[in-house]
Structure 1
Amino acid sequence: MTSLPSTLLLIDSKVHHYESLIRNLRPGTDVVVLDSAQDGINQITQTLQHYTALTSLHVLSHGAAGAVHLGNAPVTSEVLERNQDQLASWSNALTETASILLYGCEVAAGEQGAGFIQKLAQLTGANVAASTNLTGCAALGGDWVLEASTGPIETTSIFDSAALEDYPFVLADLVLEEDFKDDTVEGAWITGTLQGDQTNPFLYPYLTARDGSNDFPPGSIPNTVKGAPGGAIDRVGEGAFRLTGRSGADQTSSLNKNQSTFLIYNIALPANAGLDVTFNFFAYGSDTSQNSQLQGADGISFFLIDGSASPTTSGSFGGSLGYAPRLNLPNDPSNPSDPGDGLVGGYLGIGFDAFGNFASPNDFAGQETVRNGGPGRRPDSVTLRGPGSQRDGYEYITHTSLSQLGPDLSIDNASAQTRDAALRTARIRLLPNGRLTVTIDFNGRENPGQEFEVINIPNIAERLGQSIPTTFKFGFAGATGSFTNIHEINTLEIRQAARPPIAQDVAVTVSATTAIALTGNNALSAIDPDGEPIVNFIIKTLPSQGQLFLGDPSAGGSPITSLPPGGRVLTPALAAQLFYQPPNSGFTGARFEYTATDEEGATDPTNGIVAFVLPNNNPPVAQPSTIQAQERQTVQVTGIAATDPDVGDAIAFFTIVSLPNPNQGVLLIEEAGITRLVLQGERLTPTELSRLFFRARPGFTGASFNYTATDGRGAFSAAATVTVVAEGSDDSGCKPGRTIIGTPNADNLVGTPDIDTIRGLGGNDTIRGGNCGDLILGDAGNDTLFGEGGRDRIFGGVGNDVIRGGDGNDVLRGGIGNDQIFGDAGDDNIRGGQGDDVIQGGTGNDLIQGFEDADRLFGGDGNDTLLGGDGNDTLEGNAGNDLLDGSVGNDVLRGGDGNDILRGGIGNDRIFGDAGDDDIRGGQGDDIIQGGAGNDLIQGFEDADSLFGGDGNDTLLGGDGNDTLEGNGGNDLLDGAASNDVLRGGDGNDVLRGGIGNDQIFGDDGDDDIRGGRGNDVIQGGAGDDLIQGLEDADRLFGGSGNDRLFGGTGDDILNGGAGRDELTGGAGADRFDFTGASRTALVSGSSVNAPDRVTDFNAQQGDRFNVRIQNVPVLIRGLFNAGLVVGNTLTEAAIAAYADKNQVNPGAQALRVDEAVFFRWQGGTYLSVNGNTAAFDASDDLVINVTGITFRGNDANAGALTVSNYFVTS
């Protein structure tokens, strides 16, 4: 019999990349992943019913002081208290000496955190350990030490030390995370550029990993996030958001001058909790110089604007960094987007300034004023400018030059050609009390050790002379002037700098007319998530019936009859002296609102309520609701409603008591045209519900949130749930079903017809869902999981699992092990995880990701996306227009039918486009690519690739490395790019480009256009009338059969026209014009009197020579002469005349002898003939070349006898 495990690890599914942490766990550890859409404590209670002797319970989740985030809501001390019966049952699964270890940021921090772990220990009977600081990545300030505990902890870490060391995150809650590395972003972002630049796509900012070819419609260009107008520059997952860039699609195009752009997160954030922003920025690749030194400019700004503002154009260019104005430009008051104006709604601009003019009132010393204030140009500095509107304000505040902090520190790396060499990480922290700090890490977050604080202002509101707006938006801008850089950002993380306290609702029962002390359970109180002490309570409203007093009314207490603007501020000591005096008669209920402020200045924006209620006041009953949404869609929230059993009592407001999982979506509310985030604890009147919306994030599969209803007398309902179902999931009409949990042994579990949660736990389980969208968790063991109908979410867990999605748009995750996954019908989202997985998408447009190890991915019908990940993967798209990306490893990719996009990634890949017009890239490694049928685009990129075009008009681009390109059938374009390449055009009229390197190029059949490029190239035209150009360096050009044109270019070239009537141009350098054959007849057939080749620019003075050979043996030229101008009706007659009198200087007829050569002029042209085996001219035996345009050596044009070695190769 298998023994039960002694250790259980519970993971909140919102923990980023938790899969990497559960590799090589300590033996005897079970793993359970909590569903983010359900109550966390309920899930844990149900799970623990199947265990009896756990020595340790480990919990991996995001955390805060006094809270862990489990399932669909945070768990605080108050939540523990409300669920004390469930928590007490946990002890049945634990041994007497068991420990609970909480891995989450700052869970045990401060009094709040200490109280939380003590409460958990008290209710469960276990010793509890948790962290007082950040938990996770050391580079982000975290560690894996649990510094606080309630008693002895007798267990060691269950995690592999290498996995902990490699984990790149901390377990703290985020407000927003966007890395800008992919080809999409969440839809709240808007972009723009300078007024006047709005019709040029190359002046807009864009995602470098997105193909923006169709993002710029003619005319007005929308303010949505776009891709690179000339096609994606980076692979998905490796990009950035480019603020300023190139003037054209070619990545060698010059950089834009005088460019200005912005990117804004267009949802207003509350200012009460401050802001903690971290992002990477890059300034590099300058193509401008000053005093023979590269000079990059200008810089990037991060800004805060009023939450009510929605700019459509950026601030001005150059040193204004897209935030401030340029006062010297003509001012047009009728134009709200004047190109000289500053950014609309500006409150604070923080400039990361390479050139230094954000700190200067002018562009150059002594010139006119263009900005408001400043000490002058300060290169490589961080500078602040204040609030402004159009031309007014934006005043200089302060700056710090990096030279003050240490040597060799700079904002940009102007000479760098890749962003990695220019990585900087900025952190901007604005506390609610106004303290502003700015730091820059010059090594990046992954490599700490060179982080400097550059700005520290105790109260930015006082410094600016203007209070922080109630809500604000944030964004980035980039600008260039006469000097340039590429400016980019990525890896943005935003947290609350100091989370506000939560003022608690209090219900006070009024059963008499005597005064009631607001102490004990009736007292004002607040929970601070950061563990900060509460310094003030603020009374915001007064009760409509009765009276508040400071002090006992019967003992001379003072009535509170009015409130100053902003409310009555009470210290906690004064708040403890509050009393409520009910009216003598007619009391029906009353309430007042209050809020709380912590030591860092954070204030609860939602207010708490003290409700005075009658003993017989029944609470309302809130109704559950279900709505539908698609990913990236914003939908109105409907169905929030409640009934009140008391006659004549109405619902006063609804309270949002928990928020949706932020990985799935956010709640938004619109106020006066401004969209902002809904806060936890926020109250909405029934009329305000029409402005409540849910925005689904990419990959949305479902979410939920809870609300309560409060009546006019202050009684509030139990929480009801609003469920957001993924539209198209076939779950409409489905009801919440059961939670079914197996045992640690092998189970056979079957769900109900409704929406079930089914968990296998340990053992080799068989789980079958039903026709609604079920959550199926295999957990440990080799499980067989069936989703059946509906939009299912299936997680295999640890073990070699078989997963079938069935009908519906399913989310399938293999987890750890060698899994077999079948998407079946529907648009499925499938990930294999760790192990050698086999995945088949089935019908529908599927997203299939192998992730780690050697996976086999099959797309099936539909337009599928297959991503291989690490390992030597096999990807087959089959039918449809598919995207295949092998990523890392030696992969095999087959596109199948359809117009496919194939990306090999890193490794030695084999890629087959098969049928259709395919777009294929090899990437890094020695790749073999075959396009197959269709007009294919094939790019090898790095290393030594072999590219084969197949049938169709193909484009083959070699890239770096010694590549082999073969066009085969069709009219193809081949470009070797860099290194020593071999190009073969094949059949068809091909265009071949060798690029940089010593290339071998073969045109083969067809009329080809061939260029060698830089390097010593060997080019053979083959059959057809070819155009062959060597261009740079010493090339060897062979025309082949057909009437060819050969151009040597620069360098000492060898040109051989071959058969046909050819034209040869040597260009610069000492060129050699070869005329060869296997026999005399073959030699003459290449350039005869009836079809002579033309050498257009023979220059004896620069070293050009003729090379005449038979069977590679030089033909002996015994003498060379110049017959001068001859007459004749035909070229043959002219040659005969030259042979009869070879020397234009000596008198008398001097006949040309065997093996001699003669130049002659006839009808405006100049010709050379080499005599063969008979003295008389013989059209079949004598070589004739048109050399019109020849430059003779010295005075040879007028001479009669010439030196052979000055014109011919003699050995």
Structure 2
Amino acid sequence: MSSSFVFVDQAIDQYQFLANGIDPTATVVVLDSQQDGVAQISAVLAAQASIEAVHLFSHGAPGTLQLGATTLTLDSLAAYDLAPWQQALRHANLLIYGCRVASGAVGDRFLQELHQRTGANIAATVTPTGSAAQGGDWNLEWRIGAIEPVPILHPDVMAQYDSTLEFVIPNLLFAPATTDEGNVAQPSQLRVVDLETGDSQIIAPLAFQTFALARQAGTGRLYYVETGENGRVAYYDTRTGQNVTLLNRTGVFDDAGAGAPPSQFVKLAQQAGSGIIYAMNSSTPNLFSIAVEGDTAGIATNLGAITLANGDPLPFGGGDIAFDPENPNRLFVTVTRPDSSTNVFQLYTVDVSAPGLPATFVGDVRLPNGIVLSDAGSGSLAFGQDGFLYLTSDIGEITASSRLFQVDPDTGIVVDADRVRPIARLNDFATLPTVTPQVDLVLTKTDGLDSIQPGEEIVYTITVTNTSPTGSLADIRLTDFITGVNGVTWSGVFTGGIPGDLNSFFPGAEIGTGDIDVRFNLAAQATLTYTVRGTVDPDALIGTTLENTAQVIVPPGVIDPNPEDNTDSDQTDIGCVRGINRRGRNNRDNRLLGDNDINRLTGGGRRDVLRGFGCPDTLIGNRGRDLLRGGNARDNLQGNQNNDRLNGGEGRDRLNGGLGNDTLLGSIGNDSLRGGSGRDRLLGGAGADRMVGNNGDDVMRGNRENDVMFGRLDNDRLNGNRGNDRLRGNLGRDRLGGGAGSDLVEGGRGNDVLFGGNGNDRLNGDLGLDVLVAGNGDDSLLGRAQADRLFGGAGRDQIIAGGGADRVEGGAQADVLNGGLGIDRIIGGGGADRLIGGRRTDALRGGGGRDRFEYRNTDEGGDRVLDFASAADQIDLSRIFARSGYGGERPFRQYVRLQQSGSDTLVLLDVNGDRSSGFETFITLAGVNRSSMSARNFIV
């Protein structure tokens, strides 16, 4: 009999993946998310005589544990008979992995009571549980009793799990603002910034004035430090709207002596995973950590000086810091000198996990023309909810003309420099140090009718489902501005999901009249259903269509990965009545014709012909090889078994091939085509169509409009044809072509072949050994994981290979080719190309044009250039020499050496900038004579 039991709640993301990674000596029990979880656990424990440990994996919140359909809190704990728990767990260990269950006083009281009721030694967590990239970890910091947690999950599972066990926190861009910075007694105002416009809105006053703000992953709290020496530390809780001051001041004072630089903190950021708050002031290169929990909360600890590669300290000054949401150890730092006569605005990265806190110079923060942005008004830096890096700067040092800029994190160069986004003078930026959360909402709307008469009652059913297994979401907006219907009333009800206060209406959202424009909170896996009643306008014209559209909108700071599911329209024909309901015979070939009313025609067992006409018809092919044609309205065609031909005709039709190798033609209208099982052909016709292949090797072809195609399983062939289409192969070895428009083509998980076509296309290989071929436009190709082959084409293409050992070839024009992280083979093609090998040892061939081989960091060396033309080609080292540690007016002479090695020329680079001991072989130029090379071959 196992001595350890592990209970995994079915409601958490990838629960089966976690369950499969648990120590095989333990007994794993999956809790039904729709049943009482406490009762399920009690039933298991009651049958055990001796247990050493129980592990609980479920959703959590401070003082709250989700177990199946039960929300266990301090209040609800008293209602449960925990005798089976006490009998099994007395002197045993109870390990709770729900996010932040132990956080705060409410968490402490809840676990103390659970300890008293069960007698168990308990370990739990005050932080998010799960993926470090999402701000989580697997540590159980809170303990009571003699307990030392032993990992129950395999290390690979902990490393690969990409979710957390908590509620979604929107990733907004916050900033403090102070109208009178000279008056330190005036508290700052907390603002939220719109990245699209630069506009900001006041949210609440903070407890005191601050120039340093950081947002904490897991809680969403905004920590800030008081202006001046030995400042107070506080946080603003975005859920409660309260400011809470921590127990201690920072303990960091100004240096003694008149005119000494101030020590106040002006830069603040929180690291995902560890939860550490990092801070910097403007007078030293030192990095500090600030405790936020326990008896030392608020006290700052000096971690030492940030250092450059040559041993010099990081330049100090104003600016800000922000963690890379994709890498919790990579800290971005801006250094500015607005109080100096020299304009300084520099961008660095710091590895906070490495000894000595090593920094790398990224570049001056500058416009594409090389002009450095003004260091006035430059105290803000953060990654936005879109994943891009943003900062602020005054133009001409005029406060009223401050602007919001997006910059390239690899170069410091402003992106989209012509875009003007004025912004108020702000003291700092703060966003979550993790990637922006995603929650998939699905909306449906129907009245269940094909047609209706003027003056009749109509009843719509609108559902909004939160399909996320973990992400409960607050402040969702639903709109439906209803036309053509009189006397509208509506009411809503929640079903399913995790119980608790996240299933709740905002005021006025539960019942109402007229148009719907409401807000609500929706738990993970829950559904909100609105029933809408009214009367069709008695003056509605016979033969017209009544159409209304509902839309659900996620709150700012949250991404819905499938926004096409957030809108649904219901169309009902006015004036049509029930017509023929006819079924063909099984022993003959039937020809079934409808009339101008609503028909339902069902074939028999042989080759049938089914034909609808003017009203919405349902045509069902049954078992034979059937021909179905819908007519001029919104028809529903189902091929069912065997090899069928379906033609929707005019109208917004739904075609489902079913079993067999079917041919589906959408014809005129925005149609939905689903191939089903079998090797199907889906032809979109004239309209913005949606095609899904499902099982079998399918062929899909769009037409002139903007179509959406999904291959799903097996080996599919997709052709977008004309229009700006979206194609995705999903599983299988697929072949996808965008066609004439500007298309998005995604391969999915198989070994795929992607073609761009004539427009400016985006081709994403995703997982698998993919082949990507650009077309005639200016295309963007991304290989992603594994060893891909990417080919440019006729336009000016941008190609990024990704992580595998890739082959990259440019086309006829001036292309940008980036090998990424793998050991790549890169060939420029016919134009004046830019070749970037990346961080592994690559083989590069420029091709026929005047090519440029670019290097951005000293760790990108080791490449072999196979056809360097010394009369035309150049090696760009300017980004390396722009970093701190390199100086002087003649960097080529100081830091570059050329050396003959057999028939090759070696380019030696001083990788540490000391001009003596740091020279290493950086690039090998195959077949190039040293005498043909000079400084003109280098951009420095």
Q: TM-score range by the shorter chain?
A: 0.3 to 0.5
Highest CA radius of gyration, 1 or 2?
Answer: 1
TM-score, length-scaled by structure 2: 0.44
